[in-house]
Amino acid sequence: MTPQHPPQHRREEIAITGIGVISPAGHTVADFWHTVSAARSTATALTDPELARHKVRLGCRVTDLPQSADLPAKDARRLDPFAHYAALAALAAHTDAGAPAPEPGRSAVVVGNAVGGRTTSDRESALYTGHGPLRVSPLMPLVTMPNAAAAQIAIRLSWSGPALTIATTCASSADAIGHAALLLQTRRADVAIAGGCEATLTPVTLAAFGNLGAHSQRNDDPARASRPFDTERDGFVMGEGAAFFVLERLADARARRARPHALLAGYGSSADAYHLSNPRPDGAGAVAAMRAALRDAGLTPADIAHVNAHGTATVHNDRAEAAALRTVFGPHGVPVTSTKGAIGHLIGAAGAVELIAALKAMNTRLVPPTANHENTEEGLDLDVVHTAPRPVPAGAALSNSFGFGGHNSTLVVTPL
């Protein structure tokens, strides 16, 4: 008997219909893009008294948060900053998308986050140490749990479908976006809000990364501290914020006359299975993620007009990513930029925030320069965009996110 094979289903095209951002570079997509395009660093000195003895006293902070009618001030005050940023960015994305209202149970919220409510956790730990157990807030477990952001978004929108949290450190939000697309393609949801959030500029976190040697210690010159792929780089600069996207099947978006920004065409992920902090020197895991995303999108390396690199400005990560990019695209094969020179490393939110930059560069055909990059390290063999925006031909954009633990995630967007 001839074996029976399941029917082949047409792959659903996934549209990005809404975008929202809360970032050190601004709280609208326009403001964010203006800052990134100008390669203007947002890193500043952190003057908190408790940081006086720290090795690291700089970062890219979120300031002047906007108000939202859907998040009353009394509710916002009870949130850890990571969930506050997430709610504001997700609500902005929902508005930008025209406020889609899926049927009960047909929505999805997928949030990438690395550590949860670190600000609240540090504060409550200090209260416990200084004043005893009775001073610890009973709300602490609810405020600090990593899924608090996803819960807040679902509550604010009354969305009763899956509300998930993905934690793959610095690849978290890229994985969240990719997973949301899979939920739509397999028709487990009709509309999804996906992205990431992070708020880790706390004394304990900064102390840890300073002692690890992964964070820049240019405390006397914070604006020039984050230098991706540059010969003078000495580590990343921590940032904070959130970015979210509304995703829908393209046919559904068109049926409700939405105006998509782009297509989320491909997603790939892999694990280095190598080391908790260092990537494989040859970038093999990153290669696997990029090639998987290209296959998912039905594209070849020649279809990519530019790459928004993970580009942390740490020695080992930049070298490993450069090796991976050479393997996939060839030496000097595609224009590369890193947003982290301007806004720092947003850890679990990095992939989502950087996807906005990749999408805007694709749609404007102008790749933003890598802030603070002056001289590419010899041997990286990368075409790093710096000094001024670079015009590029029409084509797709690829965005990389690689995390501690060896997590690799790549997203590909294409124009409509």
| Burial (CB count within 10 angstroms: exposed 0-12, middle 13-18, buried 19+), residue 272 | buried
User: H-helix or E-strand containing 275?
Assistant: none
- Taking the CA atoms of residue 386, residue 41, residue 374 and residue 231 in that order, the dihedral angle to the nearest 10 degrees is -120
The tokens describing 245, both together, are 């996207």
Alpha carbon distance 340, 239 (integer Å):
9
- Secondary structure letter of residue 169 according to DSSP: G
Alpha carbon distance 416, 260 (integer Å):
8
Whether 306 is catalytic is: no
The count of other CB atoms within 10 Å of the CB of residue 178 is 26
Q: Which of the following is catalytic: 54, 170, 373, 407?
A: 170
Q: Which of the following is catalytic: 27, 310, 386, 407?
A: 310
Whether 345 is catalytic is: yes
The CA-based angle 302-308-309, given to 5 degrees, is 105
Q: Which of the following is catalytic: 345, 373, 386, 407?
A: 345
Alpha carbon distance 289, 92 (integer Å):
30
Q: Does residue 341 contact residue 41 with C-beta atoms inside 8 Å?
A: yes
Paired strand residues for 249: 14
**Distance from the Cα of residue 2 to its chain's centroid:** 47
Is the backbone of residue 279 left (phi > 0), alpha (psi -120 to 50) or beta?
Answer: beta
Whether 316 is catalytic is: no
> Phi and psi of 151, rounded to 5°?
-65, -45
Which residues in 93-108 are b (16+ Cβ under 10 Å) and which e? bbebbeebebeeebbb
Alpha carbon distance 320, 286 (integer Å):
8
Q: Mind telling me the catalytic residues? A: 170, 310, 345
